[in-house]
Structure 1
Amino acid sequence: MNNPPRKKNPTFGIAVFIVVAVSLVIATLFYNAITEKRDFDRQNAPAPSIASDAAAVVAKAAGGASQ
């Protein structure tokens, strides 16, 4: 009638620890990659073209004339 107490299985705890550790490493790699890509894109933004400068001037002039 009396069941002997179950022994804890240390393998399960170690497996959970490994899964959590690997997940944290992967998340850190993704975070760093995204952050560095944004920094790279910000530093190497293409210069605005002459056409876009002209379009901005025309849009500003058209907006000022209607007011």
Structure 2
Amino acid sequence: MNKPPRKKNPTFGIAVFIVVAVLLVIATLFYNAITEKREFDRLDAQAPAVSSDVAAASAAATAAKPASGAAQ
């Protein structure tokens, strides 16, 4: 009539804990990767303004000089 109480399986609890821990580590890695990529993109977007000014100045200086194979 009365069933004996079922024993809990401790292995299932440990397995759930391990799966949750692994998912948490993977989520943290993705979060850090995305955050650092956005930081890199933000810093990288500012750099071309400086480098393009340098490139423009360099191109103007190069255009003023004759090519090395040109007759003098």
Instruction: Pick the TM interval, shorter chain.
Output: 0.5 to 0.7
1-structure distance, mates of 2:10, 2:22? 19
TM-score (norm 1): 0.64
Aligned length: 50
Moved over 3 A (4+): none
Deviations 1:11-58 (A, max 9, x none): 1101110111011100000000000001111111132868xxxxxxxx
SS of the residue corresponding to residue 44 of structure 1 reads helix
| Gap regions ≥5 residues in structure 2 | 54-72
Q: Secondary structure at the match of 2:49?
A: coil
Residue identity opposite 2:25 in structure 1: V
Instruction: Say what the alpha-carbon RMSD is for the aligned residues.
Output: 1.9
| Aligned residue in 2 for 1:23 | 23
Unaligned runs of 5+ in 1: 51-67
**Alpha-carbon separation, structure 1, partners of 2:10 and 2:21:** 17
Percent of residue pairs identical: 86
